[in-house]
Structure 1
Amino acid sequence: MPRSNRPRGRKAAGDEREELDIERLTLGWRRTETRRGTSYTVQPISAANARKGYVCPGCGREIAPGVEHVAVWRADGVLGDKADLAGRRHWHTHCWRIA
């Protein structure tokens, strides 16, 4: 007899599932990283959400629209959250990892 790959003993699809946060799914996982004693907020930008072009501060090359990358800003700035967010920079994911 062939083996069944159907899971057994689980609840039906609509029963008591944790609600998904749509913003988290569409924007990615925001995280905090520390580099050289400074905390940064790192927000992944998916290819579907990358609608504008940017210049990567790591390599100086263009991040074209439709290319997955990260937006980075200071998490511990003294001028406040709005100033930190206004000072964010868009990096190629690889450039941010090696920076």
Structure 2
Amino acid sequence: MPRSNRRRRPDPAGDDSFERLLAGWKRSEMRRGVEWTVQPVGAAQALKEYTCPGCGRVIEPGVAHVVAWRADGVLGDQADLAARRHWHTHCWRIG
């Protein structure tokens, strides 16, 4: 199949990292009376090293995991997103 050389239209939502993060597949979960937004990160998208708050161990680049942030914070979406944490999937499930 021939390659298309046409330019793609820019995304109307913009390329802002906040918008890209919210555009992915995510879900809401209740934990101890607090609503959390949880978004999985696939191995191909895991490019940096993070420390899991559940076990204190490193999440290596290339390891699938989840990102969680409060969904009901009083300071707004931007502040909640800035306080997000990367968890091992297993640590999030048992936490």
When the two structures are superposed, what TM-score results if normalisation uses the length of structure 1?
0.72
Measured in 2, the distance between the counterparts of 1:71 and 1:84 equals 12
Note the alpha carbon deviations across 1:9-39, whole angstroms, 9 max, x for none. Answer: xxxxxxxxxxxxxx7xxx4x20000000000
The percent of aligned pairs where both chains have the same amino acid is: 70
Which segments of 5 or more consecutive residues in structure 1 lack a partner in the other structure?
1-22
Instruction: Detail structure 1 runs of 4+ shifted over 4 Å in the superposition.
Output: none
When the two structures are superposed, what TM-score results if normalisation uses the length of structure 2?
0.75
Which structure: larger Rg?
Answer: 1
Which segments of 5 or more consecutive residues in structure 2 lack a partner in the other structure?
1-19
Once superposed, what is the RMSD of the aligned Cα atoms? 1.0
- The code of the aligned residue for 1:61 comes to R
SS at match of 2:47: coil
Measured in 2, the distance between the counterparts of 1:30 and 1:77 equals 17
Given candidates 55, 78, 88, the residue that maps to 2:74 is 78
1:94 is matched with which residue?
90
Given candidates 38, 49, 52, the residue that maps to 1:53 is 49
1:33 is matched with which residue?
29
